[in-house]
Amino acid sequence: MNDRLYADTPDPGFDSMPELTGYTEEPTAMYVGCPGKRGYLNLVFEVDDDGKSIMRHHDRRAPLIVQRELYVDEEMPEMPCVYIISSGGPNVDGDRYIQEFRLAPGAMAFLTTAAATKLAEMKRNYSGMKQTIILEAGSYLEYLPLPLIPCKHTRYISDTDIIIDPTASMFYSEIFTPGRKYYKDGELFEYDVLSICSHARRPDGEELYREKFVIKPERGLVRDIGVMGRFDVFGNVIVLTPKDKADEIFEKTGPVFGKELACGVSRLPNDSGLIFKVLGMESEPVKKAVREFCSTVRRAVKGRGLPREFAWR
C-alpha cells in the first residue's frame, strides 16, 4: 500500500490505539491517505507592523479549506475570524485530518467551523484528527467549532496537543451530539466509538493537564447516572489562562443543574486554567452556555464580551 500513499502530509498515527481495534481495514472506496482524504491546515497568526492581528500564513490541503480572515466581531473588531470548511461534506471511512495553529507573541484569533462536523456511517475504517495549537507569549485564541454529529457506526478519534506560554490564554470548546437525533425515528448514541484526547504543556516541556475520554455506546453505560444521565448533548471547554484570570472566571461561573441544562466549572491541575462541562437535551442551549462562558472568559482576559451570535448559526 505504501507506494500509493499521499505523502504530502503525515499520517496522525492512530492505528495502534486500542479503542480502534477492528476498525483499521482498508476502505473499499478511496484508500486511506489518498488525495482528498488527508486534509491539512496550517495557520499562523501574527501582529503586523500596525499592531493588527493578521493570518500571516495558511497552508491547506483538501478537504480542509480556509479563506481569508474576516474582521466581523463587533466587540473585538481587531480580531481575525477564520471559518474552517470541510469541502468533502461529512468525514468518512479512512479520513485523516491534521490541523496546526500557531499564534505568535501578542496575536489573537477566533477560529470556528462553517458548519457542524458530520461523521458519516463507517464500515471498515475510522476518521481521525490530529491538532497542534501553539500559543506564544501574550497571545489569545478562541476556538469554538460547531457541534460534532456522529452518525450510526461512526468511529472517530482526535488528539489535540497544546503548547502554551504562561502569559497566553486559550478558549477551546467541543460539542458532541448523540447523533442525528431527529433523523427517522431518532439516532441516539448509535456510533461505535468516540475517542477524544487533549493535553497541554509549557514551551519548556512542563506538562499541565491531560484529558481523554473514550465513549463506546454499545457497552450500555453511556446513559448511566454520572455519565450522560438523561442528557443527550455534551459540551466540553478547556480554558488555559494565567491563575488570576482563572480565579476571576471561576468566581463568576455558577454551576447549574436543571431539567434542560447542567453545567459546572472545575480547576485544572498545575494552576493552568479551567475545565467547563455542559450537558443539555439539545444543541442550542449547550451552544448558548458555551458562548456565555466564552463571554466571561473574554471579559476576564480582554475586558470585552462576546457579540450576539449570527442568526444563521
Binding site for another protein (CB under 8 A): 17-19, 195, 197, 199, 207-215, 221, 224-229, 231, 234, 236, 254-255, 257, 262-270, 275, 277, 279
Q: How many helices (H) and strands (E) does the chain have?
A: 2, 18
Contact 286, 260 (CB under 8 A): no
DSSP state, residue 297:
H
Is 59 within 8 Å of 45 (Cβ atoms)?
no
CB nearer another protein, residue 160 or residue 236: 236
What is the side-by-side order of every strand in the sheet holding 207-215? 53-61, 38-47, 96-103, 127-135, 155-164, 193-201, 207-215
Question: Which of 81, 222 has the CB closer to another protein?
Answer: 222
Q: How far is the CB of 246 from another protein (least distance, A)?
A: 12
Closest CB 227 distance from another protein, rounded Å: 5
Shortest spacing between CB 244 and another protein, in angstroms? 17
Which residue shows C-alpha cell 450576539? 308
Nearer to another protein, 83 or 209 (CB): 209
Given the complex with another protein, which of 67 and 266 has the nearer CB atom? Answer: 266
Backbone angles phi, psi at 163, to 5 degrees: -120, 115
How near is the Cβ of 159 to another protein at its closest, in Å?
9
Choose between 108 and 215: whose C-beta lies nearer to another protein.
Answer: 215
Shortest approach of another protein to residue 292 CB, angstroms? 16
101/305 Cα distance (integer angstroms): 23
